[in-house]
Structure 1
Amino acid sequence: MTFTFSDSVVLVTAGTSGLGLSVATKLVQLGANVVINYASNKDRADNALSHLQDISSKQDPSLKCIAIQADVTKKSEIERLVSETVVAMGRLDAVVSNAGWTKFANFHDLDDNVDEDVWDKCYAANVKSHLFLCHASRKYLEDAKGAFVMTSSVAGVKPSGSSIAYSVTKAAQIHLAKSLAMVMAPSIRVNAVSPGFMETNWIADFPESKVNEARDKTLLKRITQVEDVADQIILLIKSHLPLLPQELYNAISKLLEINDIKNLRVTCSTLARALPLHFDRVFISANSLNIQVFNAIANHEVFRHQVTEIIWDDARLFTGPELKCERHENEQEEERQDDVEDGSDAEDLAGNGCPFWFRTGRYDYEDTGTYEYPGPHLGIKESWAYYKPLLDDQNRVLASNADTEAFKYGLTRFTSLKRVTITPSTHGRLWHPLYRTPMIRAFPPGLDYPTPQAWPFYDDKKTSMCSHGFPAYRAKWRGFRLVTRALVEHESHGITELIIGGDEVQSGLNCRIFDEWSPEYGDLVSILKRPGFRYLDLHLFTGFIEDDHWPSYRSGLSRDAISQSKDLESLSIRATMDVSEGVIQGLAPDMKGYAISLRNIFSPESWPRLQHFSISRVLVDFDEFVDLLANMPPSLRFVEMVHVAFESPEQGYDDLVRAMRDVLDWRLRPIEERPKVKMVVSTWDNHESGYGRYIEIDQAVDSYIYGTGMNPFEDDKYWVRSGRGAVQRDLFDLDFNVAL
C-alpha cells in the first residue's frame, strides 16, 4: 500500500539546514511527526526545530517535532539516536539518511588526495554511517513496511566533486544502497538520490564563475534547488507506484524478461507485490538443491499452477573414468605429470583428495599462463572443495531416488503441465550453461570442473557398446527411463509435448531403442499415442551405426512409434552424425547404399496437422527427401534442415533449394500458408563455429524460393559465401549474433 504520512514518524539525519531541513519541512506539511538529528550546532538545531513547530502548530497541533543530537559517524551514537527516537515517538516508519562529509582538495592533484584522516572521515560519514543507521532502524522499519532513503551525490556516479575521497566513498554509498535494497527487500524499500550542484549555504562562498560554470553544464540551465531534491526523497518515501492500475503492471511485466522482473521485485515491497514472480518451468535432477526448489514450487498454491514444463536435468556430474583402459591411461598420465610437476603442488592436491581425472577435465589443464578466461576463475583446490560435496550429494540422491519421487509428486501438483524435457545438455559449455538451474546458479563464480557427459556422445570411446541390450549401458539414460515410466504410470497428467535432448552436446537418446521392442520403447509409444499429443523433439545418439547400414532406422519401429501421434503438430528428429560441408565424415563420398530410407522413419500422411518439421545430421537420397517434403500436409508452416547430407556427391544444397522452388508447390500457396525454411550449413570461407556455435541461413533461402533473390548456394553446393545472408549463432549464448 501507499505510505501514509499522517501520524507517521520519520527520522532525518543532518536535518537542521539545507536539504535535510527542506525534507523535514515537507514531511511536517504532509502530516508526519519528524525527528531531526544534528551533530553539534545546537543553536542551528533550535532554530530549525522552531521553524518546524511553527508549521505543525498551524497545520495540526498534535504533530510532534523533536531534535536529537548524535554523531552519526559512530555506531554507538547511531544506536542511541534510533533508540531515543522510538522512546520519544513510539515508532519509526521511515529514515532519511542525509549525513555526509567532505574536505575540499584539488581533484586532479593526487598529492592533494592522500590525506589518511580525510579518507577515514569520508568513509565513516559517507558509507558506514548509512549502513549502521539502516541496521539500527531495521526492526522498526520492517514492522512499518517503511522506507530508508540515503542522500548520495552525482560525484559517486561520475568521478568528480570536492575530492577523490568524496567521489570514491559516494560511489561506495551508491553500491551500498543497491546491496541494502536486496538485503532488506521486500519489507523495507531502500533507495538513494544522487544530486549534483545544489543551491545551499554550502556554495555561498563559491566564486561566481564556478556557479555559472555549473549552471551552464545543466540541460535546464539552472542550479538545482534543495526543494527539487526534497520532492524526490518524499516521492521515494511515499511511493506512488501502488496508484498505478494492476492491469498496467501486468502489461508491463509481459514485456520484461524474468531476470528483469526479479531485479525489480527486490527494489521495494511495492513492486514485489505488484509484479508477482512468474515462471513456467522447473528443474529436477540428482541434486538436493534442485529437488528442494522443485518441491517448494510444487507446494506453493500460486506458483504450482504456473508451471507448464518440467526439465529433467540428466547431466549427472562426472565421477571418473569408467572403462578399465581409461583408468589405466589415467593412472599412467598421472604418474607422468607428478614427475614433472612441483612436488609441493602435487602433494597439496593429493592431500586435498583431488583425483587426477578432475584435474584433466578442467578448462585450465596444462595452462602455462597463456589461457584467457572470460571472467573470474576458481583454482583447482577451491573447485574440488566445492565439487566433492556435490558428488556426495548426487550419490545420496541416486541411492534414494529422491529425484524420481519428486518428479512423480510434481505430476500431481502442476495443474498446467504440458511439456517434459529430458536432457544431458544442461551444463552446456563451461560457464555458458544451457539452463541456469538452482544448482548452477549457486556455483561460485569461475568454478572450473569437468563438464558432465552422462549420456554417451559423438566420438565417445564407449560408442561401440551402443547395443540397446547392455543393461549397464542402457542405465546411462536413467532420466529417460524413469521419466517415461512415470508418465505411463500416472495417466492423469496432461503432457502433450516431449523433448528428449542432447544434440547441443553431440548426444541424445540411444537410437538402438528402435532396433527391437523393449520396455523403454513400449513406454515411449504409450506416451506418443495419447490423444492430443502434439510436440516431439527427439535427439538421437547414433554412434557409428551407419557402418551397419542403419539397423535402428531399417527396423521400422521409429516410424511405427511416431505415426501413433495422430495430433502431431511439431516433429524434430536430430542425429549425431558428423556432417561437415554436406559430407558424412568417415564415409567415402561415392559409397552407395548408406542413405537412410526416409519412409522407414516418417509417414507424413499420419500427421494431418503437422506445422513444424525439422531434420538434422542424416544421410538421405536427394529425390526421396524432396518427395518427403512434397508429401507433407498443407498445414506445414516451418521446415528446418540442419547439416543434411545427400548420398550422391553430385547433388547439394543448391539443387535442394532449387527443387523446393521449382518442384514443390509452396510458392503457389497464399503467403500466409508458405512454409518458412531455415538451414544450418557450413560457410565457404570456413568460419570456425566452436563448440555450441552454428551457422544458419533463412531469409536468403526464403527470398530465393518465394521471391526473386539469388540462390545462396550458387556455385558452391554445400557452402554459403560471406555476404549471402548467413548468421552465426550460439546455442549457449542467445545474445551472440554475427552476420557473415
Structure 2
Amino acid sequence: MANLHLPAQGLVIETNELLAGIPLEMFADRTQDYRNFYALLCRPDFHRLDLALLIGDCPTGGHNATQWGILGRPHLRSALERGTSLTHFSFSADVRPRDLLGSEDLIANDESWVPIQQILPVGSWPDLQQFGLSFGLSRFPVKQAELVDLLSNLPESVRWIELGFLALVLADETYAGLIDAVRYHIRWRNRPEALRPRLVILLPISFSAPMGMANRVDSEIQEFLYHGGANPFRGSRGANDVDFGVATELDAFNPGFEAAHAPDFDWKEEVQGMVSREDEFSRAAWNAMRDLRHASARLLSEVSDEEGASGEEITDEDILVRELPRHYRRRDLEF
C-alpha cells in the first residue's frame, strides 16, 4: 500500500472482536513494516485508521514485566503524529476481557499500564470526528486521570467517543468516577448541543459470555452528561458495571441483534429448550441443528485419550452446547 501510486484514504484492521491484529513488535523498532506504516500516515488524503494490535507473547526487548512497554517507545507516536488529516481513529488490543478486567495483578508501574496520553497525539488531529468506531479505544490497562486528560484534549470536532473493556489500574478508579470526571471537569455540557460528543462505553456481559458479545452503555451516559440523569454505574452491581435493564447487549457476529441487558442464562438449558420446541423452528433451522448434531458426534469420537482418562463424562450434548454457533444461541432471534 505504501508503494502504490494510488489514493489510500484509510487502513482498517477489522478483527470483529477476534483476538488478532498487527503484531505489536512492529513498533519496537524502525523496521521496514514500520516505515511503510509511517509512509501511509504521511499521505495528505489519509483519513481513517482502525489499528488492532496483536499483543500475544511478543519479545519485550528488555522490558521485564509485560510487553506493554513497547507502546511507550516513540515509534508509534511518531507515526501517528503524521496523520494530521485523520477524521476517524480506533485503537484496540487482542486481550480477553476476563484476562484484563479480571486480573488482580495490575499495579501502577510503567510495565503494567499503557500511557495512553503519551501514545496518542490527539492534538495533531484537528479534524478528528470519531474517536473509536466499533469497540473503539479498547482492551488496554490505563490510568483514569490520563484517560480524562486525553478526552479533554480531543479537538472540538469530535462527535463520537467509544471506550471498551478498559481496565482502570488504580484501586480507587472506576467507570462511575470516569464519567463523573467527564461531566464535572471536562464540562462538555457547556458546549452548544450540536458540538457535544457522544460518549459510549462497552462492557463485557460476563466473563462466560461468548466472544464478541458486549453491553453498550449509550443513552444512559448521555442523560447523565447532558440532561441531569443518574450515573448509570452507580447501581447495585458496583461502580464498574450497570444494573440489569441498563445498557444494550450486542453481538459482533450477529450485527442485527440487540437486546436489553438481562441476567445470564444457562446455554445448555437454552439449547434443550430449543430442541423441545419443534413447531417453532423452520426447516432450515432444523437442518442446521441436525448437521450440528452430526458434527458433535464426530467431535465426540475424536476426544483424546487424555480427556477420556480424566474420568469426566463427555456427551454429544456437551459438545453441541460448546460448538453451537452463536446465532443459534440467542433466545430472541427469529428463525
- With structure 1 as the length reference, what TM-score do the two structures score? 0.32
Indicate if the aligned counterparts of 2:117 and 2:147 stay in contact, CA closer than 8 A.
no
Q: 2:169 aligned with 1:634, yes or no? A: no
Q: 1:503 to 1:512 in 2, by over 3 A?
A: farther
Superposed displacement of residue 595, structure 1: 1.5
Which whole-Å CA distance do the structure 1 matches of 2:57 and 2:147 have between them? Answer: 22
What is the one-letter code of the residue matched to 2:73?
A: S
Superposed displacement of residue 489, structure 1: 2.2
Q: 2:229 aligned with 1:704, yes or no? A: no
Match of 1:689 in 2: 209
Superposed displacement of residue 633, structure 1: 0.7
Indicate if the aligned counterparts of 1:577 and 1:584 stay in contact, CA closer than 8 A.
no
Match of 1:386 in 2: none
Which residue of 555, 566, 569 maps to 2:87? 569
Superposed displacement of residue 623, structure 1: 0.7
Superposed displacement of residue 509, structure 1: 0.8
Superposed displacement of residue 690, structure 1: 1.1
Q: 2:194 aligned with 1:680, yes or no? A: no
Aligned length: 249
Which residue of 76, 85, 97 maps to 1:558? 76
Match of 1:48 in 2: none
Which residue of 514, 518, 531 maps to 2:27? 514
Superposed displacement of residue 718, structure 1: 1.1
1:728 is paired with a residue whose SS is: strand
1:678 is paired with a residue whose SS is: strand
2:82 is paired with a residue whose SS is: coil
What is the one-letter code of the residue matched to 1:557?
A: H
1:498 is paired with a residue whose SS is: strand
- RMSD after superposition: 2.0
Superposed displacement of residue 600, structure 1: 3.1
1:565 is paired with a residue whose SS is: coil
- With structure 2 as the length reference, what TM-score do the two structures score? 0.70
What is the one-letter code of the residue matched to 2:96?
A: D
Match of 2:4 in 1: 490
Q: 2:173 aligned with 1:651, yes or no? A: yes
Q: 2:97 aligned with 1:579, yes or no? A: yes
Superposed displacement of residue 610, structure 1: 0.7
What is the one-letter code of the residue matched to 1:630?
A: S
Superposed displacement of residue 556, structure 1: 1.6
1:663 is paired with a residue whose SS is: helix
Indicate if the aligned counterparts of 2:189 and 2:196 stay in contact, CA closer than 8 A.
yes
What is the one-letter code of the residue matched to 1:734?
A: P
What is the one-letter code of the residue matched to 1:556?
A: P
Match of 2:183 in 1: 661
1:536 is paired with a residue whose SS is: strand
1:558 is paired with a residue whose SS is: helix
Alignment map for 1:80-159 (pairs within 5 Å)? none
Which residue of 40, 45, 49 maps to 1:527? 40
Q: 1:527 to 1:589 in 2, by over 3 A?
A: closer
Indicate if the aligned counterparts of 1:568 and 1:610 stay in contact, CA closer than 8 A.
yes
1:550 is paired with a residue whose SS is: helix
Deviations 1:148-195 (A, max 9, x none): xxxxxxxxxxxxxxxxxxxxxxxxxxxxxxxxxxxxxxxxxxxxxxxx
Superposed displacement of residue 664, structure 1: 0.5
What is the one-letter code of the residue matched to 1:575?
A: A
Superposed displacement of residue 688, structure 1: 4.9
Match of 1:733 in 2: 254
Alignment map for 1:715-734 (pairs within 5 Å)? 715=235, 716-724=238-246, 726-734=247-255
Superposed displacement of residue 557, structure 1: 0.9
What is the one-letter code of the residue matched to 2:89?
A: L
Superposed displacement of residue 510, structure 1: 0.4
What is the one-letter code of the residue matched to 2:95?
A: M
Q: 1:657 to 1:520 in 2, by over 3 A?
A: same
Q: 2:131 aligned with 1:613, yes or no? A: yes
Superposed displacement of residue 502, structure 1: 2.3
Which whole-Å CA distance do the structure 2 matches of 1:591 and 1:671 have between them? Answer: 37
Name the one with the larger helix percent. 1
Match of 1:599 in 2: 117
Superposed displacement of residue 504, structure 1: 2.0
In structure 2, list runs of 5 or more residues that go unmatched. 262-335
Superposed displacement of residue 488, structure 1: 2.1
Superposed displacement of residue 501, structure 1: 2.4
Indicate if the aligned counterparts of 1:689 and 1:695 stay in contact, CA closer than 8 A.
no
Q: 2:110 aligned with 1:588, yes or no? A: no
Q: 1:529 to 1:587 in 2, by over 3 A?
A: farther
Q: 1:738 to 1:556 in 2, by over 3 A?
A: same
Indicate if the aligned counterparts of 1:503 and 1:576 stay in contact, CA closer than 8 A.
no
Which whole-Å CA distance do the structure 2 matches of 1:592 and 1:554 have between them? Answer: 12
Indicate if the aligned counterparts of 2:16 and 2:253 stay in contact, CA closer than 8 A.
no
Alignment map for 1:124-523 (pairs within 5 Å)? 487-491=1-5, 493-502=6-15, 504-523=17-36
Which whole-Å CA distance do the structure 1 matches of 2:145 and 2:207 have between them? Answer: 30
1:695 is paired with a residue whose SS is: strand
Deviations 1:510-534 (A, max 9, x none): 0111000111111111111101211
Superposed displacement of residue 543, structure 1: 1.6
Q: 1:524 to 1:592 in 2, by over 3 A?
A: closer
What is the one-letter code of the residue matched to 2:77?
A: R
Deviations 1:411-444 (A, max 9, x none): xxxxxxxxxxxxxxxxxxxxxxxxxxxxxxxxxx
Indicate if the aligned counterparts of 1:501 and 1:539 stay in contact, CA closer than 8 A.
yes
Q: 1:555 to 1:591 in 2, by over 3 A?
A: closer
Superposed displacement of residue 591, structure 1: 5.5
What is the one-letter code of the residue matched to 2:18?
A: V
Q: 2:146 aligned with 1:624, yes or no? A: yes
Indicate if the aligned counterparts of 2:131 and 2:160 stay in contact, CA closer than 8 A.
yes
Superposed displacement of residue 497, structure 1: 1.4
What is the one-letter code of the residue matched to 1:706?
A: Y
Q: 1:578 to 1:524 in 2, by over 3 A?
A: same
Q: 1:718 to 1:586 in 2, by over 3 A?
A: closer
Superposed displacement of residue 619, structure 1: 0.8
Which whole-Å CA distance do the structure 2 matches of 1:520 and 1:590 have between them? Answer: 32
In structure 1, list runs of 5 or more residues that go unmatched. 1-486
Superposed displacement of residue 584, structure 1: 3.8
What is the one-letter code of the residue matched to 1:661?
A: R
Structure ranking higher on relative contact order (CA contacts 8 Å, 6+ apart) = 2
Q: 1:597 to 1:665 in 2, by over 3 A?
A: same
Indicate if the aligned counterparts of 1:538 and 1:574 stay in contact, CA closer than 8 A.
yes
Superposed displacement of residue 701, structure 1: 0.7
Alignment map for 1:14-53 (pairs within 5 Å)? none
Superposed displacement of residue 613, structure 1: 0.8
Q: 1:650 to 1:503 in 2, by over 3 A?
A: farther
Which whole-Å CA distance do the structure 2 matches of 1:573 and 1:529 have between them? Answer: 18
What is the one-letter code of the residue matched to 2:31?
A: S
Superposed displacement of residue 693, structure 1: 1.6
Superposed displacement of residue 697, structure 1: 1.1
Superposed displacement of residue 717, structure 1: 1.4
Which whole-Å CA distance do the structure 1 matches of 2:218 and 2:34 have between them? Answer: 35
